[in-house]
Amino acid sequence: MPFDPNNLLKKNQEKNKQDSKNTLIKSLNIKNNSPKRNLGKLKKEDILNVVKIKGPVTPTEIKREIKAETYLISAILSELVNARILNTTKVKKGTSIFYYLPEQAQKLEKLVEYLNEKDQRTVAILKEKKVLQDKPQELLIRVSLRKIPDYAKPLNIRISKDEVKLFWRYYLVNDEDAKKVIREILRPLVEPKKIEEEKKIVPSETQDLSFDHSNKLNKHIEKKEPIKEIPTKIIKKPTEEKTFVPIEKDEKISDHNIDEKLIGTKFYEELKQLFLNKGIIIENAKQVRKAKDLDLIILVKTSLGKSRYYAKYKNKKRNNDADISNAIVIAQSKHLPAAYITTGEITKKTRENINTLFHNVMIVERFE
């Protein structure tokens, strides 16, 4: 068979391809095996040691110390958080949260620099005052307090049977110290009430208690028996009625502050009549979204008089935190109490926040 140089060249090319392929496979095997060896060696103790030394710390900073895969570090961190060995922050460095041990809580003060300027100011005020009452604060501070749960801890204090006030304590202030500050905040409100109650004590009641055993005063006590119920009537405080009183027919209602897009429409006329039937006058109405979303100023007539509210009316099936928060912001800008009126329902998550975030908003569901 004659010698063919082309055949020899072809065989050499095929051999070179095979050698290159084998070299590539070997290199891939080395790369694939090396992480597996690292994964097997990585333990929870390795991560905990880094957190103990450097915490609060981000996953990226942990990776830099122990040279392991990010996904494995994150998985172990998640286990430690679920076991309540580690805590996490809402504060972020870029997109990464911080992990820390409970005993490292004081070090969170170093992370304030990662907050925006407004939240940094709120933290500074709360740290100085130790405790802040929610309602008297400016709107921006109230919103900010809800955005910094690492530093602001809510406290609901019951003032009376029907009244609960929301306070915020700095996270390093314990509950006992917070209560002392709260007592001082509430003292101007509580002392006048005590004085009023003392003034309401009726002399005849005091005489009956002091001299009930005296035979000499028996006749006098018998004479006073018909008016024994008077002290009860004086001490009893009237409770505010939650039910609305129907508007009287001769009450004048003007449409001069009503959005022109609404006047004369079937939707608005029916809604206005529905409000009237429930004892509510619409003083001002602006259409935000046709037949779906209205900004209202309403006058609610109760048995104790008339109250003016800013009301957000929404024809919406499911209403969330953002819907109600928006109503609060607008109401605050108008210096009016807020009401949120919807034809639908409040979501379960939002309902859980009513006593903390939305305790000062009148919420009406299934309004129809």
- What local confidence, expressed as pLDDT, does residue 249 receive? 40
294 near 326, Cβ under 8 Å? no
CB atoms closer than 10 angstroms to residue 201: 11
Least trusted range by pLDDT, from 9-18, 54-63, 168-177, 293-302: 9-18
Does the pLDDT of residue 191 top 80, yes or no? Answer: no
Mean pLDDT of 343-356: 83
Burial 70-106 (b: 16+ CB within 10 A, else e): eebbeebbeebeeeeebbebebebeeeebbbbeebee
Q: What is the pLDDT of residues 206-247, one digit of tens each?
A: 434 333 444 444 444 444 444 444 443 334 344 444 444 444
Q: How confident is the model at residue 255 (pLDDT cuts 50, 70, 90)?
A: low
297 or 207, which is more confident: 297
When the pLDDT of each residue in the chain is averaged and rounded to a whole number, the result is 77
| CATH topology identical between 26-105 and 266-364 | no
Mean pLDDT of 101-121: 94
| Distance separating alpha carbons of residues 215 and 43, to the nearest angstrom | 87
Least trusted range by pLDDT, from 107-116, 243-252, 271-280, 345-354: 243-252
Max Cα separation, the chain? 152
The reply to whether the predicted model has a pTM over 0.75 is no
- What local confidence, expressed as pLDDT, does residue 250 receive? 41
Does the pLDDT of residue 359 top 90, yes or no? Answer: no
Does the pLDDT of residue 29 top 80, yes or no? Answer: no
Least trusted range by pLDDT, from 103-117, 152-166, 185-199: 185-199
Residue 236 tokens, joined: 């009893």
Q: In angstroms, what CA-CA distances link 365 with 30, 222, 224?
A: 64, 54, 51
Mean pLDDT of 254-272: 82
- What local confidence, expressed as pLDDT, does residue 218 receive? 43
113 or 214, which is more confident: 113
- What local confidence, expressed as pLDDT, does residue 362 receive? 86
Mean pLDDT of 332-341: 87
92 near 116, Cβ under 8 Å? no
**Omega within 30 of 0 (cis) for the link into 226:** no
CATH T-level assignment (fold) for domain 266-364: Trna Endonuclease; Chain: A, domain 1 (3.40.1350)
Q: What is the pLDDT of residues 148-179, one digit of tens each?
A: 999 999 988 888 777 888 999 999 999 889 98
Q: Where are the domains of the chain?
A: 26-105, 115-197, 200-235, 266-364
Q: How confident is the model at residue 295 (pLDDT cuts 50, 70, 90)?
A: very high
| Distance separating alpha carbons of residues 272 and 277, to the nearest angstrom | 9
Place of tokens 């494995």: 72
Strand order in the sheet with 163-170: 131-133, 163-170, 152-160
Does the pLDDT of residue 31 top 80, yes or no? Answer: no
CATH T-level assignment (fold) for domain 26-105: Arc Repressor Mutant, subunit A (1.10.10)
In single-letter form, the type of residue at position 345 comes to: E
Helix, strand, coil percentages in the chain from 3-state DSSP, rounded to 5:
50, 20, 30
- What local confidence, expressed as pLDDT, does residue 115 receive? 94
CATH number for region 115-197: 1.10.10
